[in-house]
Structure 1
Amino acid sequence: MNAIDADPDPLGRLRALCTALPGVTERTSHGEPTWFVRKVFVTYADHHHDDRVAFWCAAPPGAQEALVAAHPDRYFRPPYVGGRGWLGVWLDVPVDWDEIAEIVLDAYREIAPRTLVARLSAPPDDGVNGR
């Protein structure tokens, strides 16, 4: 499968990206898989069952406006949380999963405590340094 693809299992791909991050848990919220790092940072969005599949996520200031303006076919202002700058990302169109990984990582950085964000750049635990 290419990096840009209409994925047959977008939920599985999104789940893998989210759960690979430190301290992330998954729970159902509002009937949808949702990923938390103390607070919600990504939620799957298929609850309207309107033949559209997406996710909503926290986003850095200005990102929602810039991405929606540049690519309204791929990004949108989600209901409820869009006013707080959250980004909606369509998954039922061909997507660049490398770009999705960056968006998920940005969402994580917006919500996660600094101690967990710092672990993203920490060297892996090799068992030698007592980490």
Structure 2
Amino acid sequence: MQLLDRVRASCLALPEVTERPSHGSPTWFVRGKSVFVTLHVDGHHHNAFPHLWCAAPPGAQEELIAADPARFFRPPYVGSRGWLGVRLDGEVDWAEIDELCRDAYRDVAPKRLVALLDAEPPRPAG
């Protein structure tokens, strides 16, 4: 499955999510307005490798970058708000990407939608 298809499947499986291009890249929104993931398949600006930007809970950006700076980075524009950049040009752990997308959703979605998500049975990994 292609990169876009995998990220799309993770994001569109979440309650009330839509997809549309933003600044030329596939982007996923909660209720059509709150962005939680953007995929840059061909890179973006000086990051000329496939990657995604995702909302992240407080402290996650710093923690993940410190743990694995070869895979995680602070993205331009949204990094100052705690968003996380994730490289997708090496071996990709799709269970981890799915979890990051779900965490990003939880970070921006209204509490009622997060409760809907929490009520769902666990999804199989991978």
TM bracket, shorter-chain basis: 0.7 to 0.9
Q: What CA distance in whole angstroms lies between the structure 1 residues aligned with 2:18 and 2:109?
A: 12
Give the total of aligned pairs.
117
Unmatched segments (≥5 aa) in structure 1: 1-7, 125-131
Q: What CA distance in whole angstroms lies between the structure 1 residues aligned with 2:39 and 2:56?
A: 15
For residue 13 of structure 1, the aligned residue among 3, 6, 25 is 6
Q: What CA distance in whole angstroms lies between the structure 2 residues aligned with 1:123 and 1:9?
A: 26
For residue 58 of structure 1, the aligned residue among 55, 59, 68 is 55
Q: Give the number of the structure whose alpha-carbon radius of gyration is greater.
A: 1
Q: What CA distance in whole angstroms lies between the structure 1 residues aligned with 2:96 and 2:16?
A: 22
Q: What CA distance in whole angstroms lies between the structure 1 residues aligned with 2:120 and 2:27?
A: 28
Task: Output the aligned Cα RMSD.
Answer: 1.7
Taking structure 2 as the reference length, what is the TM-score of the superposition? 0.86
Deviation readout 1:34-83 (Å, 9 max, x if unpaired): 00003100001234486400000100111000111110111100000001
Q: Which has the higher contact order (CA 8 A, sep 6+)?
A: 1
Moved over 3 A (4+): 47-51
Percent identity at matched positions? 64
Q: What letter matches 2:117 in structure 1?
A: L
Unmatched segments (≥5 aa) in structure 2: 122-126
